[in-house]
């Protein structure tokens, strides 16, 4: 809502009837107008995300149980558990693409997470072969956490025409993603225990 202040005058042109003349004295500044526009865009984006996640979750539930207890959100991401605390799946929808990720932030320090990442990276060729596509490996040495991800431009938030096909692509890729990584989860738990034992000494 914007507030305006007008000056009202009575004018007559020639023999015409008297008419009111409104002159704007005070109105919203350019900054306020810009802020209002940004808020509208954000609200529209949140609504689109809710719609997108609602559709994706329905399709995901036909392929996997990972998102059966997950509700649509205004955020641009949805998480799913792997059974290992601090190691979880992430699906991200952006304006221009979508992403499936494995997030590694199990340890309180970087050493544990980098150890898990390095272990998985040592199986890079096998994991990518099982997944069926190239994967982006982000060790992120300047961060405590690490990420492994697959991005696709075949589905994006701004183009609703990509959603229906994108739901199927993401769901099928997620199943392949889980299958490629989950076989290593028992070893990841051992790595975490070993690092925790060293840290406690």
For 66-93, the DSSP string reads TTTT----SSSEEEEEEEETTEEEEEEE
Across 8-29, average pLDDT? 60
- The pLDDT mean for the chain works out to 87
Q: Which CATH architecture has domain 43-200?
A: 2-Layer Sandwich (3.30)
**CA 40 remoteness from chain centre:** 20
Summarize pLDDT for 32-56 with one digit per residue, the tens: 555 555 677 778 999 999 999 999 9
Q: Is the predicted pLDDT of residue 6 greater than 80, yes or no?
A: no
Question: Measuring CA to CA, which residue among 28, 93, 6 is closest to residue 55?
Answer: 93
Across 127-140, average pLDDT? 98
Q: pTM for the complete prediction? A: 0.78
Q: Could you give the C-alpha distances from 186 to 7, 37, 70, 180, 182, in angstroms and in order?
A: 75, 50, 25, 13, 8
Across 155-162, average pLDDT? 97
Cα separation, 196 vs 190, in Å, equals: 10
Summarize pLDDT for 88-121 with one digit per residue, the tens: 999 999 999 999 999 999 877 899 999 999 999 9
Pick from 4-13, 103-112, 183-192: least confident = 4-13
Summarize pLDDT for 56-76 with one digit per residue, the tens: 999 999 999 999 999 999 999
Given a contact cutoff of 8 angstroms between Cβ atoms, the answer to whether 188 and 87 are in contact is yes
pLDDT at 200: 47
Cα separation, 55 vs 168, in Å, equals: 10
Phi/psi-derived region of residue 14, left when phi > 0, alpha when psi is between -120 and 50, beta in every other case = left
């Amino acid at each position: 809502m914007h507030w305006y202040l007008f000056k009202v005058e009575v004018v007559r042109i020639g023999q015409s009837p008297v008419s009111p003349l409104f002159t704007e004295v005070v109105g919203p500044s350019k900054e306020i107008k810009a802020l209002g526009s940004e808020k509208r865009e954000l609200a529209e984006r949140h609504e689109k995300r809710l719609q997108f996640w609602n559709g994706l979750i329905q399709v995901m539930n036909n392929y996997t149980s990972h998102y059966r207890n997950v509700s649509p959100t205004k955020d641009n991401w949805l998480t799913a558990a792997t059974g290992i605390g601090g190691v979880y799946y992430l699906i991200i929808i952006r304006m221009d693409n979508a992403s499936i990720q494995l997030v590694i932030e199990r340890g309180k320090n970087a050493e544990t997470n980098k150890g898990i990442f390095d272990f998985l990276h040592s199986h890079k060729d096998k994991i990518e072969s099982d997944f069926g596509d190239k994967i982006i490996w982000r060790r992120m040495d300047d961060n405590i956490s690490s990420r492994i991800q697959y991005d696709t431009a075949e589905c994006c938030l701004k183009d609703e025409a990509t959603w229906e096909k994108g739901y199927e692509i993401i769901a099928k890729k997620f199943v392949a993603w889980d299958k490629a990584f989950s076989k290593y989860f028992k070893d990841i738990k051992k790595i975490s225990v070993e690092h925790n034992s060293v840290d406690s000494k």
